[in-house]
Amino acid sequence: HVQLVESGGGSVQAGGSLRLSCAASTYTRYMGWFRQAPGKEREGVAALKAEGGTTNYADSVKGRFTISQDNAKKTLYLQMDNQKPEDTAMYYCAAVFGTFWYPPLRATQYQYWGQGTQVTVS
């Protein structure tokens, strides 16, 4: 069992920045960030493979968001720059131990989830 604790959400003006953090109770091979706005399905934002640092981004956030980990591979970050109103959503941290060719952006591929943190861009 893996516990994930998120922090860093809040409100920001369009064009501003926020940095989300996700502390994991143990190492996992794959971790990702997902978001869900009211009335919409949960979508993958960014994912990372700890071994080698391979990353995968949704087209909507490429060039604006950066996913990374600390040296111990137990804390995940999402640096969100040049934010847009359409980034407004509940953001979730997720993790899984599985073996994949590429870090997945499909929510059903992840086993463990954080509680979510709200991000509002206006």
At 33-54, the pLDDT tens digits run: 999 999 999 999 999 999 888 9
pLDDT tens digits for range 42-92: 999 999 999 888 999 999 999 999 999 998 888 999 999 999 999 999 999
pLDDT at 6: 97
The amino acid present at 16, given as its one-letter code, is G
Q: What is the pLDDT of residue 120?
A: 98
Question: pLDDT at position 1, please?
Answer: 85
Alpha carbon separation from 14 to 20, 21, 85, 88, 96 (Å, rounded):
17, 20, 6, 10, 32
Strand locations in 16-116, DSSP E?
A: 18-24, 30-36, 43-49, 55-57, 65-69, 75-80, 89-96, 112-113
Mean residue pLDDT across the chain: 96
Per-residue model confidence (pLDDT) at position 9: 98
Q: What does the pLDDT read at residue 71?
A: 85
**Is residue 117 over pLDDT 90?**
yes
- The neighbouring-strand residues paired with 112 are 95
The percentage of the chain sitting over the pLDDT mark of 90, rounded to a whole number, equals 90
Which residues are CB-neighbours of 100 under 8 A, at least 6 positions away? Answer: 30, 49, 109
